[in-house]
Structures are given as C-alpha cells and as structure tokens.
Amino acid sequence: MKLLQKTNKAYFLISATAFIIAGVTFYFVISFFFRDQLNEKLHHDIKNITRSIKRNGIIPNFYPFFEIKEVTGVPEQHTKAIDTLISDGFEKRKTLYRQVSLVTNINGKEYFIAARDTLLEEEDLLGVIAIVTGSLFVLLLLSLYFINRKLSLKIWQPFYKTLNELKEFSYDKPGFQLSSESDLFEFTELNKTLDKLTQKVISDYQTLKRFTEDASHEIQTPLAVIQSKLETLMQYPDLKKDQAEIIKSAYVYTLRISKLTQTLLLLTKIANDQFPEKREINLSEMLNEKINIFEGQISDKSIKVSKEIGPDCFLETNFFLAESLVINLIGNAVKHNIKTGTININLDKNHLEISNTGENLPVPSSKLFDRFYKTNKSSDSPGLGLAIVKEICKLNKWEIRYEYLDNLHTVIVDF
C-alpha cells in the first residue's frame, strides 16, 4: 500500500470515528436542552393557568395542550415532567408529548393541571442529525483527501526524485551521485546519507572486483607452475610406482583447485553482473549442440535421451551464461543418472525442463542449489554447478525450481 493511501485511510478511520462520537453526543445534548427548554415553557404555562383560574374562576379547555380538572381526595403534588403518547383526534396515530403536571389548591379546591407540547420524534431527530453529520463528514473527507493529496505530492516530491535516481544506481558506475537539494531538512539529510552509502558500495565493489580478479590470476599462475612441474616428474623413467601415485594424486588435486578457483570467479562475476553483453540466443540450437558434448558419458551409462525441443526458441541473454546454464543442467542430469537410465529434455518459448532418473535425494531439495552442497560427499565435483545455474537465472530474472515425481528428478527454468 502506498504511503498516501495509508495516510488517507488513517484520516478516514479517525474522521469516521470522531463524527460518529460527535453525532451521538450531539443527539443527546440537543435532546437534553430541547426537553429542558420545553420544561421551562410548560412550567410557565402552568403558572399562567393557575393565576387565570384564581382571578377569573374560568377553567380553560385546550385539550390536549392543556388538561385541567377538579379532583377530590388527592393530596397536592409537586410538578413532574414526563413523555407521554396522546391521541388528539386529528391524527390517526398517537403523538408524543412532553407533559408537566401538578395537583394544586386554587380557591379552596383541588385541581389537576397538565400542560403539554409536542416533542420531536426521536426518529426524526436522529434522521436530521444523521443527514447533517453525514453531509459534514463527506464534505470534510473530500476536502482532506484533495488537500492532503496535493500537499503530500508537493512535500514528497524530493523523496520520489531520490527514489527514481536510486533506481538508476549501479555499483559499476563510479560517477553516480544523488542530488541533495530540498527545502526539507529530513530529505536533505536522507539524500546525504544515501549518497555516502552508494559511494561506499561502489568503492567496496571496485575493491572486491579487483581483489577477486587479482587473487584468481595470482592463484592460477603458481598452480600452472605446479602442474607443469608435476607433469615433468611423472615423465621420469626411474619413478617407483608409489612415488608415481603420490605425484599423480597431487596433480589431480591441483587440477581440482584450479577448476574450483575458476568456478568461484565465475560465480562472483555473475553475481556482480559482469556479463552485460546480451544478444538473441537460439536456445534450441544450443541445446542440440551441447547434448553432443556428453555423448561419450551417455553411451558409457547406456542412457536413453528423449528430446522435445521446439524450433527457434530465442532468449535475450548473454551467450556465455546461456551456454554455462545448458552445460551445467545437462551435465548434472548425466552425472547423477543411473545405468540404463533416461534423460528427458523439453523446451518451448516459456520454459526449459530437464529430467533424469536417479536415486532419491538424501537431503532436502531446498538445499540443492546451495554452494558446495553435494548429494554425494565422495564426489570430486565441488558442488557449484546448480549454484551457477541459480545465479544465472537470478541475473536474468528467470524462475528455477526442482521437482521429484515418478522416480524422475526434474529441474525447470521458467523464462
């Protein structure tokens, strides 16, 4: 939810609550004052009637507004006020009246005197209050919405400007700088802090990039020298068998270290997006071509390969990365297959699916794409093939997932 929408929602809830409370309070206050004023009027009417009877001896008759009757055996009563329903003969339904009454002695006789006046019905009063309150609420809400929207857009303009500039940020562009101009102190400080942060990220990236490249180069050089020396030693004619085995073992490990270094360097380059060159790749042709690379291993295991490769499936990506993805997925399907197993390869414009027979995973499938994670601990593989595939998919914003169904391990890449 956007900040402006959240603010407007908060204003709406607060305003609605305030208006409901105000409406209820307004109803009770108006009702109280109306009855209080009506009570005063009716008391005054009773005093006038009493004086009129004392002076003239005439009992007025204005029913239902006045009711005066002589009573016997009833003690004097102080005035009391009540609400009562009375039918006045003109209305088919009863009308609500406010009544103030008393029993008093006038000229030696006891009289019951009641003065009445119509009350606003509560339904009518509630309706009027609801209409007035609702109209004010809608008017205020619309005013708040448009004023807040216009004001917020103006106030938050520096923020959105900074946000758009950050979207263009790239750690391989050392000239990047945020503009810190703003009338608001908070946004100026934010821009200054973000500018320092981006410059630090660029600096750290450049340092890490140089270190990775230099370390890889420096490691590969002595490894190449060691390999050359070991190859020379292995050619000595008077070597004993046990000596030759030791030298061969050392040579194999130097090859593994060299391969591991190159793979880690590749992972770092992919993560740092150092393959910006993109072009249209015919993945259909590449798949058919790379399958042929593994013909020897496929033949040794008597693996049956089934292909459903759609013609001319093109992707906009880096050629080297697409090649690395295909080789790693096919190589993984061959390496972890069983004797006389199967490999199924399906490709269309939306996804690539490679499945192979194989033993059940002894580990959770969620760890399959982790670095240095191997299902077979005794394998010579460093366990980086699927990690490279995952980084390539992440860089290209592709989805990769693993499924195990009907004794088939399946890796699916959704483009």
Is residue 1 exposed (0-12), middle (13-18) or buried (19+ Cβ within 10 Å)? exposed
Residues 213-261 pLDDT 10s: 676 667 777 878 888 888 888 888 877 888 888 888 887 778 777 776 7
Q: Say if residue 267 is in the same domain as residue 284.
A: no
Which token pair is 137? 């609420």
pLDDT of residue 362: 58
Which residue in the block uniquely carries the two structure tokens 């003239």?
Answer: 56
Whether pLDDT at 41 is above 70: yes
- The rounded distance, in Å, linking the Cα atoms of 394 and 371 is 15
Give the pLDDT score at 370.
64
Q: 263, 216 in Cβ contact below 8 A?
A: no
Task: Classify 157 as helix, strand or coil.
Answer: helix
Range of the domain at 407: 279-414
In a domain, 153, yes or no: no
In one-letter notation, the amino acid at residue 323 is E
Q: Are 116 and 47 in a shared domain?
A: yes
Q: Report DSSP letters for 163-227, one per residue.
A: HHHHHT--TT-TT-------SSHHHHHHHHHHHHHHHHHHHHHHHHHHHHHHHHHHHHHHHHHHH
Which of 147, 166, 200 is the C-terminal boundary of a domain? 147
Q: What is the CATH number of the domain that holds 360?
A: 3.30.565.10
Is 82 in a helix, a strand, or coil? Answer: strand
Query: Do 410 and 296 sit in the same domain of this protein?
Result: yes
Name which residue leads in pLDDT, 177 or 347.
Answer: 347
- Tell me: pLDDT of 350 over 80: yes
**Residues whose CB falls within 8 Å of the CB of residue 407, separated by 6 or more in sequence, listed in order:** 357
Q: Kindly report the CA angle at 304 between 299 and 305, in degrees rounded to 5?
A: 100
- Any domain includes 104: yes
Note whether 50 and 76 are within 8 A (CB): no
| pLDDT confidence band for 342 (50 / 70 / 90) | very high
Angle between the 319-335 and 283-291 helix axes, to the nearest 10 degrees?
40
CB-based burial, 168-206: b 16+ in 10 Å, e otherwise: eeebeeeebebebebeeeebeebbeebbeebeeebeeee
Please state which of the ranges 6-10, 314-318, 349-353 shows the lowest mean pLDDT: 6-10
Query: From CA 182, how far away is CA 169, in angstroms rounded?
Result: 20
- Cα Dmax for the chain: 156
pTM beyond 0.85: the answer is no
Which of 279, 273, 276 has its CA nearest to residue 317? Answer: 279
Query: Which of 271, 299, 322 is the endpoint of a domain?
Result: 271
Residues 230 and 289 in one domain: no
The reply to whether 263 and 374 lie within a common domain is: no
The residue written with tokens 């046990």 in the block is 242
SS3 28: helix
Q: Which of the residue ranges 21-25, 61-65, 273-277 would you say has the lowest mean pLDDT?
A: 273-277
Looking at the domain assignment, is residue 166 inside a domain?
no
Residues 325, 393, single domain; the answer is yes
The tens digit of pLDDT for each residue in 197-226 reads 887 877 777 777 777 667 666 777 787 888
Among 409, 389, 371, which Cα is nearest to 323's? 389
In the chain, the number of structural domains is: 3
What is the C-alpha end-to-end distance of the chain, expressed in Å?
A: 28
Q: For the segment 156-205, what is each residue's pLDDT rounded down to a tens digit? A: 777 777 778 777 777 666 667 776 666 777 777 787 888 888 878 777 77
Residue 309 has pLDDT above 80, yes or no: yes
On whether both 359 and 321 belong to a single domain, the answer is yes
CB 374 within 8 A of CB 381: yes
One domain, residues 353 and 225: no
The CATH number of the domain holding residue 191 is 1.10.287
For residue 38, count CB atoms less than 10 angstroms from its CB and return exposed for 0-12, middle for 13-18, buried for 19 or more. buried
Packing angle, helices 185-234 and 157-167, rounded to 10: 10
What 3-state DSSP class applies to 305?
strand
Mean pLDDT of all residues in 15-44: 80
| Residue 339 placed within a domain | yes
For residue 289, being part of any structural domain is answered with: yes
Same domain for 300 and 222? no
355 belongs to a structural domain = yes
Residues 200 and 218 in one domain: yes
Structural domain includes residue 165 = no
Whether residue 137 sits in one domain with residue 7: yes
Where helices occur in 235-384 by DSSP H, the ranges are 241-271, 283-291, 295-300, 319-335
- Reference 151, options 4, 12, 2, 1; nearest CA is 4
Domain for residue 175, yes or no? no
Q: Which of 248, 271, 294 is the last residue of a domain?
A: 271
230 and 348 assigned to the same domain: no
Q: Which amino acid is residue 224, in one-letter code?
A: A
Query: What CA–CA distance (Å, rounded) separates 324 from 369?
Result: 15
